[in-house]
A and B are shown apart, each in its own frame.
Chain A
Amino acid sequence: MIHRGLILSVGGALLLGTGPGDSEELEFAPRQVIDKRFPAIKSPPRRPAGKARMRDDELLIGVLLNGEACAYPINMLTGPTREIINDKVGGRAIAATW
C-alpha cells in the first residue's frame, strides 16, 4: 500500500509530508472512552516455570534482559484496565505492553 503522508523522524523532530490532509495523519486527537482513573499495575505476582498455570498453546510476550527471562501472557495483558504492566527484569524498569 502506498501512503502519501511520508513521515520522517529526524533528530527528534517530526516532519510531515505536505499533501492535503497529511497534517491530520498524526494529529493527536484522543477520545475519552472510559471516564475513570485506574492505578498503574506494578510488579505483579510471578511464578517460576515449573509452577506456572499456563496452557502450552497460550501466547505471551517474552523478554530476556541481562540473563533474566520473564513471560507476560497476552491473555493477562488484554482488556481496558490491563494493557500495561510495570515491572523490572534484569535490573531494567520496563512497561510490558503489546
Chain B
Amino acid sequence: MYASEVGGRRLNFTVSGMLWKRSLVMRDEETGSLWSHQLGRAMRGELEGAELEMLPSTMTDWASWKRRHPETAVIDLRRTAADFTRKLQQEAGRYVLGLEGRHTNRAYPYDTARKMGVINDTLDGQPLLVTYDPAGASANAFVRELPGREGEPVQFAPQGTDSMRDSLTGSRWDRQSGRAIDGEKKGAALKRLPGVPSFARAWNDFHPGSSTYGE
C-alpha cells in the first residue's frame, strides 16, 4: 500500500506488462516511468530514483476487518481470483511480514509469529512489535511504545488467542488493530508500522541483505 503523491504530484499507476525478478513492474501514466512494485522505487524514466511512501495497512480476512471497522467500505470489482482466504494459515511457511528499518531489513515468518503470538524485537534501534492474530490469519507490526509514554521500554506478552498485555500498565490490547480494549490505556492505539506481507522468496529477492527473525 503506497501513497501515490510524489513531490506534490498525484500519480496513477498501471501494470506495465513487464516483470522483474518475477515481480510486477508498474508504470505511472503521468511520466511513463517504470517502478518496482516490491521496492516502491522508480527504476527508469523521468522519476528514476524517486520512492513512494509506504502506508501502514493490514492483511486479514473480511470477518476480522469488519468486526474492528464496522464503518468500512469495500471495493466492489469482479473477482479475478478465488483462492486468497484465511486458509493462508495452513501455508504460513511461505509468507513473511517484511519490515524496512532505517538501515537494514528484517523478515518475520508468519509461522514464527503464529507460534509466538507476539514478537518483541528491535530493528536499527527502533523497538518494535510483531503480532499474529490467528482468527484473521493476520500478522501486524507496531512501534513497541505506549501512546503517551514514548521512550519508555515496554514488552508485550500474549494473552488468549488474539490479545496481549503490556508490561508497563497491564492493559489488554487487540493484536490485530493495536487498540487497547481494557485497562488504563483503553481506547489508545499503538502506532502501526508499514509491514509488507510477502512471499518469503520475493522478499529475499528484493531485499538481499535482509535478516530473518529467528535465524
Which residues does A use to contact B, with CB under 8 Å? 1, 3, 5-10, 12, 17, 25-26, 28-42, 44-49, 52-65, 68-76, 78-87, 92-98
The CA of A37 and the CA of B15, in the complex, are separated in Å by 8
The residue in B26, B44, B74 that gathers the most chain A C-beta atoms within 10 A of its C-beta is B74
CA distance A6 to B76 in the complex (A): 41
> Nearest chain B CB to A17's CB is how many angstroms away?
8
> CB of B10 within 8 A of chain A?
yes
User: In angstroms, how far is the closest chain B Cβ from the Cβ of A51?
Assistant: 9
- Shortest Cβ distance from residue B41 to the other chain A in the assembled complex, whole angstroms: 9
CA distance A74 to B59 in the complex (A): 9
A53 and B76 CA atoms in complex are apart in Å by: 8
Q: B82 CB to closest chain A CB, in angstroms? A: 6
CA A52 – CA B215 in complex, angstroms? 41
In the complex, the 6 A-B pairs of residues with the closest C-beta atoms, listed nearest first: A79-B80, A34-B17, A56-B63, A69-B72, A6-B209, A78-B81
Tell me the complex Cα distance, A22–B5, Å.
Answer: 32
Q: Looking at chain B, what size class is its interface with the partner chain?
A: 35 or more
- Give chain A residues whose Cβ lies under 8 Å from the Cβ of B65: 60, 62, 69, 71
Q: Are A36's CB and B17's CB within 8 A?
A: yes
CA distance A42 to B77 in the complex (A): 12
Is B71 close to A, CB under 8 A? yes
- Given known pairs A84-B26, A94-B2, the reply for A32 and B18 (CB within 8 Å) is yes
Given A60-B59, A60-B74, A65-B55, the answer on whether A76 and B80 have CB atoms closer than 8 Å is yes
Query: Is B13 touching A95 in the complex (CB atoms < 8 A)?
Result: yes
Residue pairs across A and B with CB atoms within 8 Å: the count is 233
Q: Decide: A28 and B209 in contact? CB cutoff 8 A.
A: no
CA of A59 to CA of B91, assembled, Å: 14
By a beta-carbon cutoff of 8 Å, the part of chain B in contact with chain A is 1-5, 10-20, 24-26, 29, 34, 36-37, 43-44, 49, 51-52, 55-63, 65-66, 69-88, 103-104, 137, 197, 204, 206-210, 212, 215
Which residues of chain A are within 8 angstroms of B58 by Cβ–Cβ distance?
61-63
Do residues B85 and A59 form an inter-chain contact, with CB atoms below 8 A? yes
A58-B5 contact given A53-B76, A69-B73, A76-B78, CB 8 Å threshold: no
A81 touches B74 (CB 8 A): no
Q: A49-B72, A58-B84, A70-B75 are in contact. Are A5 and B19 (CB under 8 A)?
A: no
For B104, the chain A residues whose CB sits under 8 A away are 8
Given A25-B208, A30-B16, are A73 and B74 neighbors across the interface (CB < 8 Å)? yes
Q: Which residues of A contact B63 (CB under 8 A)?
A: 56-57
Q: Which residue of A lies closest to B79 (CB)?
A: A75
Min C-beta distance of B113 to chain A, whole Å = 16
Q: Are A96 and B1 in contact (CB under 8 A)?
A: yes
Nearest A-chain residue to B207, judged by Cβ? A7
